[in-house]
Structure 1
Amino acid sequence: MKTLVKTLVPTAMMVAGAAMANPVDGQLPNAPTLAAYGDLPVGVRQIELVNPDQINILAIDPAADKPAELPRYDRPLTVEMWYPAAADATGSNEFRAYLRDGTTEVTLTGRAMRDAAPAATDTPYPLVLISHGYPGNRFLMSHLAENLASKGYVVTSIDHTDSTYQTQAAFGSTLVNRSLDQLFVLEEMAGKAAEGAEFAGLYDASNAGLIGYSMGGYGAIITAGGGVTQASVDYSWGGPHGTLGIHLAGSDTHNALPDPRIKTAVAIGPWGMNTGFWDAEGLAGVQIPMLFIAGSQDETSLYEQGVRAIWENVSGVDTALLTYVNAGHNAAAPMPAPKESYYFNEEKGFNISEHYSDQVWDTVRMNNIAQHFVTAWMNEQLKGDATAAEYLTLVEDSNAGVWSMNEDGTEKEDHSHWKGFAKGTAKGLKYEVKSPK
C-alpha cells in the first residue's frame, strides 16, 4: 500500500493542476540589481527543427564490428524561443513541461506570453542559445531565458534529442551531438532572421552567446573551441566506434567547428574534467571569453578536480569563475522545483524535487544571482555596455567585501561590497577572473 500511495501522488496533484502554482519568475527582496526583469514584455513560442543526415548513434552496436557506413537519420530538435514582445501583445503566461520523471506533465507560469507578437525594433537584439543537462529539457532554465528576453535578448532553448526527460538514451549520443545541436540551431535561427524571413530584423544571429548547463556546458566548451582528449574518444561507454573523434583536440573536424557568430559562452557546472574529457592542451583551444559558474560541492562534475580545473586550464581568453560556496551541481541553473515533483519515485530511486533543488541554497536566490551575473556578462560581451564591467569588478570573496558609505550615499574609498548587492546580502560567493597567459 505504501508503494501505491507514492505512485499516485503525482496523478493526484495533476487533478488539482489549476490550483498548483509553479512560477519561474521569482524575485526575492534581496535579489541583486541586475536580476530585476527589464522593461520589455516577453513572448514565447515553440519551434520544430530537423537536422538532416546525422549519424544515428543509437543505431550503432558498440559491441559489433564497425560498419562500413555509419547509420544516419534526420535528427528532430524542438526549441523554445523567448523574445521581446510588442507593447500591446497578449497571450497566456502558462506553459506545459515534463518533470524529471519523464511522465508527469505540469503547468509552469512566468511573464512570457505564448505566441505574442514580436516587438518592432530598429536595432536587432543579440541571440542567446541555452543548452540543458543530461537529462533535462528546454524549460529547465526558463527563469533565465525570459529574464534575459525582458532586457533585450532573443533566447532559444533546445530540447536535445536522446537527452530529455522523455527521450533519455545512450550517453554517446549526447557526447557526440551536444555541440552539433547548438551550432545547427544557431544556423537555423540565423535563417529565420534573414531578410524576408519570419523574424527578419528582430535579432542578430551573428552576435550570439551560448549558455550551457552540465552536459550543455560540456557542449559549450566544445563549441567555444575546446577539444576533447584521445582517451575520451576511446572510452568504450562513450561515442561508439570513435564517433566522438570529430571533437578531438587538434583534429581537422574540430578545428573547423567553432562559429565566429558565437561571441561568448557561459558554462554552468560543465561536465567532463572529472572523467578525462579535458586537458590543458584541449582547453587551450577555447577561443571566446567564458563565464564559468559552479557550486563548490558539485557532486556530479566536481569542483576542484572538475569545473574549477576546467577554468584554470582555459588559457587563451578572458574568463571568470563564479562559485556558490557549499552549493552542489544544481547551483544557478534549474528553475524552482514544481510542486508536483515533491514525491519519491520508486523507479528513479530519489525524490524528483532533488533534480531542481540544492541542499543548502534557496533555488530562487541562486536563480536571481545567476540572472544578475549572466545579465552583466552578456551586456558587456554582446551589447558593449561599459557599465556592465562595474558589476564584474569585485573582490574575490564576497564575505570580505566592506560596506562603507558616506551619508549622501556615495562610496568611501574603502568600500568593497559587491556592486549590485544590497548591504549585507553578498554572502557565500566567490568571483575570480583570469586573463590569457
Structure 2
Amino acid sequence: MSGFFRKTGAALVMSVMIAPASWAENRIDGQRPDAPELAAYGDLAVGVREISITNPGQIDIVKIDPKAPKPETLPTYDRTLTLEVWYPAAQGASGDTALKAYLRDATTEVELQGKAVRDAAPADGTYPLVIISHGYPGNRFLLSHLAENLASKGYVVASIDHLDSTYRTQAAFGSTLVNRSFDQLFTLNEMDRLSKDANSFLNGKVDASNAGIIGYSMGGYGAVITAGGGVTQKSIDYPWGAPHGTLAVHKGGSETHNALPDPRIKTAISIAPWGRQLEFWDAETLKGVKIPMMFVAGSVDDVSGYENGIRAIWEQTVNVDRSLLTFENANHNAGAPMPAPREAYRFDEKLGFNVSDHYTDAVWDNVRMNNITQHFATAWMGKHLKGDAKMDPYLVLTPVANESVWAKEKDGTVKPEHTHWEGFPNRTAKGLRFEMLKAGQ
C-alpha cells in the first residue's frame, strides 16, 4: 500500500470513528453544546401521527395547458394532502421513534430518528396550532427538527406534504404559486374540525383559533400571502407562472385576496420567502400583511435574494411588528432544513448535484442553524401564541450580534455594560443579526 493510500485510509477510518451520532443515525433532534437556551426540548413527551385531508373541487393547475386557449371551464380535482402531526403525548409514551422519509432524489427512502413516539396517546390539554409549509420541492419532514421541538413545548404541529410540490409529486410550478396559501388555510380548517371530532385523536387537543404558520422558501411565499400580502399584476402575467391568470385569485386588493386572511392565524415565521426579488410583491401590496411576522434569511441567499428579496419584504411589511434574523454568509438553506441524512452524501446524475446540497450550507453547520431557529421560534411563538412576556428579553437584542458585549462577574452577576444576546452562551452569538421594526416604521 502506498503512503498516500495508507494516510487517506487512516484518515477515513478516523473520520468514521469520530462521526457524530446525529450523522450516523440521521437524527433530527441534535442539540450542540453551544445551542442557545430556548433550543432545548421542552418538558412534554411527543407523539407523531400521519393523517390525510382532502380539499374537494380545487382547480387542477397542472392539467391546464398554458399554450392552449383558456378553457371556458377550468379542470378541477379533489386535492389530497398528507400531514405529519406532532403533538404533546402522555408521559411515559414508548415505542417506534423512526420517521420514514424520501430524499431530494425522490427515490431513496431513509429512516430519520427523533424523540417523537409513533401513534402515542395524546397528553391532556388543548394546545396552540402551528402549521409548517415546506419548499419547492420538499416534504413534510424537511423541518421535522422544528416541528418535534415545538411540540415538546406545548404545541400541536401539522406539517404539510404539498401536492405537486413534494420530491415525489413535483409538477408545474404554477400549482405551487396558486395553492400554497389555500393548502395552509385548508389545513387550519381541518385541524379545527378534527379538534371537535369525538373519533379523532385530536379531539379537544387543538386550539385552532390560536394558530401560527412557519413556511420555508415557497412555504414562506405562501405564508406572506396568507398573512395578507397580495401579489402584483406583474407576477400574475409571468408566462412561466400560473397559467391563464389563475394567480389573480391572490392579487393584492382583489375581493378574493381580501377575503383570504384568517383571524385565527395570529403570527407567522417566514424563512427564506421566495418572490420579492421577482416582484411578486411590491411596497404597496406588502402593506396588506396583517399579522406580526418573523423573517429568517441567509445574507447571500441566491434563490430568494437578500437585499432585494427577504430583507425588502421585512422592510415593506410596514403595518405590523416584524423581525429579521440573518445568518451572515449563509445561503438559501439558512435555518430550515434538517441535517442531511447520511444517504444524501452522494452525487446524483439525474439531479446534477450532490443530494446533500439540498439540505446543507457551505458555511454554517445544520444542527447549529437548527438550534438557533428552534430558539427564536420558541421565543416568537411563545410571545405571540401564548402571550408569554418572559420571551421578550430573547427578542430585544443588539441588532448585530458581533457588536454585543459579554460582561458578567464569575458568579453570573450582570454588569451594566452587558449587552450579549439573551440565551446565548458567551462567545456563541457570532455571525448573526436580529433586527426589529414596529408597525409604522
Could you say which TM-score interval applies, normalised by the shorter chain?
over 0.9
* Cross-structure match for 1:253: 256
The reply on whether 1:332 has 2:332 as its aligned counterpart is no
* Cross-structure match for 1:212: 215
Q: 1:387 aligns with which of 374, 386, 390?
A: 390
TM-align CA RMSD: 1.0
Q: 1:273 deviation in Å?
A: 0.7
Q: 2:102 aligns with which of 98, 104, 107?
A: 98
Aligned mates of 1:271, 1:197 — CA distance in 2? 39
* Cross-structure match for 1:200: 203
Aligned mates of 2:363, 2:159 — CA distance in 1? 27
Q: 2:189 aligns with which of 160, 163, 187?
A: 187
The reply on whether 1:315 has 2:324 as its aligned counterpart is no
The one-letter amino acid paired with 2:51 is I
The reply on whether 1:362 has 2:369 as its aligned counterpart is no
Q: SS of the residue aligned with 2:333?
A: coil
Return 5+ residue gaps in structure 2 as ranges. 1-22
Q: 1:22 aligns with which of 18, 22, 26?
A: 26
The one-letter amino acid paired with 2:167 is Y
Aligned mates of 2:147, 2:367 — CA distance in 1? 14
* Cross-structure match for 1:137: 139
Aligned mates of 1:381, 1:273 — CA distance in 2? 25
Q: 1:91 deviation in Å?
A: 2.1
* Cross-structure match for 2:39: 35
The one-letter amino acid paired with 1:56 is D
CA deviation string 1:162-213 (max 9, x = no partner): 0000000100000000000000000000000016352222120000000000
Q: 1:67 aligns with which of 71, 76, 80?
A: 71
CA deviation string 1:138-159 (max 9, x = no partner): 0000000000000101100000
Cα distance, 1:51–1:434 mapped onto 2, change above 3 Å: same
* Cross-structure match for 2:116: 112
Q: 1:301 deviation in Å?
A: 0.2
Q: 1:223 aligns with which of 216, 222, 226?
A: 226
The reply on whether 1:54 has 2:58 as its aligned counterpart is yes
The one-letter amino acid paired with 2:405 is V
Cα contact 1:327–1:361 (8 A) shared by 2: yes
Aligned mates of 1:357, 1:145 — CA distance in 2? 19
* Cross-structure match for 2:168: 166
* Cross-structure match for 1:7: none
Aligned mates of 2:132, 2:95 — CA distance in 1? 23
Aligned mates of 1:26, 1:171 — CA distance in 2? 33
TM-score, length-scaled by structure 2: 0.94
The one-letter amino acid paired with 2:240 is W
CA deviation string 1:45-74 (max 9, x = no partner): 000111100000011011011111100000
Count of paired positions: 417
The one-letter amino acid paired with 1:383 is K
Q: Which runs of 4+ in 1 moved over 3 A?
A: none
The one-letter amino acid paired with 1:264 is T
Return 5+ residue gaps in structure 1 as ranges. 1-18
